Structure 1
Amino acid sequence: MWSAGCTGLVAVLLAAAVATEAKEVLEFKPEIGVSNGGLWGAWAWQEMCPEETYATGFSLKVEAYRGPMDDDTALNGIRLFCTRGGRGDKHEAHTVESQSGPWGQWSPPSWCPEGSYLTRFSLRVEQTRRGIHDDMGATNARFACSGGAHLEGRGLSWGEYGEWSPPCRKGLCGIQTKLDPVRGALRDDTALNDARFFCCSR
């Protein structure tokens, strides 16, 4: 028969287990996003930095402008570079990118100043033009670093930047992209339309 003391101990242990499980589930929450993302596509998988690392740099996959008679997609992917933040870690960075489109080339990485990390972002998006016009979705991205530096990607100039996302106080530790699937010949492809990021809890 259980004593009151044993019952109380069991309750405490159960509460601790529940709290631990909740902490694990919420480890990469909350997520941050922007309100001006493109309309097309579906959210792909989440991809997270390895344990005890966080994003200190990024790279963009961009299709160069092809001309008025071709189908342009502009921004196709965003890649985070996850490090431990120390000197020399850039050479051992782990990359995460969720899903990316098939067009374009990856830019060289842009890094926060040493000792700082990515905290928030903003997307440049060309809003839908409808009709026979060529839509592109997102065309560029920029990030803010914990020390105050701003880093702009090497995307295209079409569209407008929206407001900055809320900040992640302890940095960015994950990414999820919204990608328009390949539509095929004589269809309008837009590739990456939106992105959201997951805050670290280190």
Structure 2
Amino acid sequence: MHYFISIMFSLLAFIGLQVSVQSAGRRSERSIERHFVSLLTVPNGMVSGSWGDREMCPTGTYAAGFSLKVEKLSFFWDDTALNGIRLHCVSLFKDLDSYEEDSSIQSNTGSWGEWTETKWCPSGFLTAFQLRVQSSQGIGDDTAANNIRFNCSKKSFLEGDGTHKGEWGDWSPLCQGRGMCGIRTRIEESQGFGDDTALNDVRMFCCN
């Protein structure tokens, strides 16, 4: 009996190790230092918090859709609005009429809110973006980034299900290359009793 129990524990440990290795492999695939040809920024991002790690789509895939992590406005102290942006990556050779993601990537995210449904380019890949940002309110409640819009490579336009505070800034430049393939976000961590803003700014990367 002890021998049987020992075998079972060894088998479970081996399975657990395999799962761990596979998970690490998937993480590694998303995080590789893939070569990019252009970096997209916008001028109206806020400056609180720190930049997270750059996350890249696996080689041969590009961002064709996105979803947002959003805390809905409560009109009480303390709202954070946009907390995260997730890019959904698909293969260059996938049937663009029936998108099914190969993987999804995100940089750092804030602690609040829920993920929205994915929005997809009707065809092509994400190629430019625009942020809706609330400037500093002084002693009022700051929310920083509230929403995001994207252009797709076939001239279509997508707007996220974020919140309405602040103003839309200028568009980023257009991608050089096929489309977006990576993301890096600037996130302010929880301030405890202070004013939380979560996502302040984002940078996108484009690949050939």
TM-score, normalised to structure 2, is: 0.80
Q: Residues 26, 60 of structure 1: CA spacing in aligned structure 2 closer, same or farther, 3 A cutoff?
A: closer
Q: Which residue of 1 aligns with 2:167?
A: 160
Q: Secondary structure at the match of 2:54?
A: strand
Q: What amino acid is the match of 1:198?
A: F
2:77 is the counterpart of 1:70: yes
2:151 is the counterpart of 1:150: no
**Structure 1 alignment gaps of length 5 or more:** 1-24
- Describe the superposition over 1:109-128 as per-residue Cα deviations: whole angstroms up to 9, x where unpaired: 000013x1100100000000
Q: Which residue of 2 aligns with 1:112?
A: 121
Q: Which residue of 1 aligns with 2:45?
A: 37
Q: Which residue of 2 aligns with 1:22?
A: none
- Describe the superposition over 1:83-106 as per-residue Cα deviations: whole angstroms up to 9, x where unpaired: 014227633431111111110011
2:104 is the counterpart of 1:91: no
Runs of 4+ in structure 1 off by over 3 angstroms are: none
Q: Conserved in 1, the CA contact under 8 Å of 2:90 and 2:100? A: no
Q: What amino acid is the match of 1:164?
A: W
- After TM superposition, the structure 1 = structure 2 runs for residues 121-160 of structure 1, keeping only pairs within 5 Å, are 121-131=129-139, 133-160=140-167
Instruction: Say which of 55, 66, 73 aligns to 1:58.
Output: 66
Matched residues in 2 for 1:92 and 1:166: separation? 25
Structure 1 position 27, deviation (Å): 1.7
Q: What amino acid is the match of 1:127?
A: S
Identical aligned pairs, as a percentage? 47
TM-score, normalised to structure 1, is: 0.82
Structure 1 position 134, deviation (Å): 0.3
Structure 1 position 162, deviation (Å): 0.5
Q: Residues 147, 92 of structure 1: CA spacing in aligned structure 2 closer, same or farther, 3 A cutoff?
A: closer
Q: Residues 141, 89 of structure 1: CA spacing in aligned structure 2 closer, same or farther, 3 A cutoff?
A: same
Q: What amino acid is the match of 1:182?
A: S
